[in-house]
Amino acid sequence: MANLLDVFAAACPPALSAGMAGLDELARFAPLRALDDESQLALLQVARLTTVADQQVLFYFQDRDDYDYFLISGRVKLVAADGRIHRVEAGTVMAQQPLARLRPRQYTGVVEGGASLLVVGRDTLQRLQCRVTACTEERYGVEELADSELGA
């Protein structure tokens, strides 16, 4: 099934031109707070601001999509495979993080009563975060990590 962003991408303008309040608005989301002003501006130019109707599915359990969803307004119901339900409401502590960030997704996300979301490509966000924190491309294998932790 198509991802919500794939269906509405053409109709959803970049956040910067869609009236997003700007850098102050981004500060309420923990992963975006650490970005410098230049990175936040870059993010606003490529992120999408979208309004989603009641009962629209954002993503499904086990999806491996490439987007992070930040809840600007409204409420999203997260339904786990075992039927457990968590609700995330804009402005709460839970809404400071992207919705159901793990991949594959551990929840199906369903909008309740309509919502506005900032949709960001995961790779884009990671690159911008690395610009600020000086990430390296070096990756450690399991053996290397175990040796380094053991002091070998």
What pLDDT, on a 0 to 100 scale, did the predictor assign at position 77? 98
pLDDT at 20: 54
Per-residue pLDDT, 33: 87
* Type of residue at 98: P
Position 57 scores a pLDDT of 97
List % helix, strand, coil for the chain (3-state, nearest 5). 35, 30, 40
Regions of the chain where pLDDT drops below 50 = 1-13, 16-19, 21, 136, 138-152
pLDDT at 5: 40
Give residues with Cβ within 8 angstroms of 15, minimum separation 6.
43, 44, 45, 47, 48, 49, 118
Q: Return the closest-CA partner of residue 23 out of 35, 14, 11, 10.
A: 35
pTM over the 0.85 mark: no
Place of tokens 């919705």: 99
Cα(115)–Cα(24) distance, rounded to whole angstroms?
Answer: 20
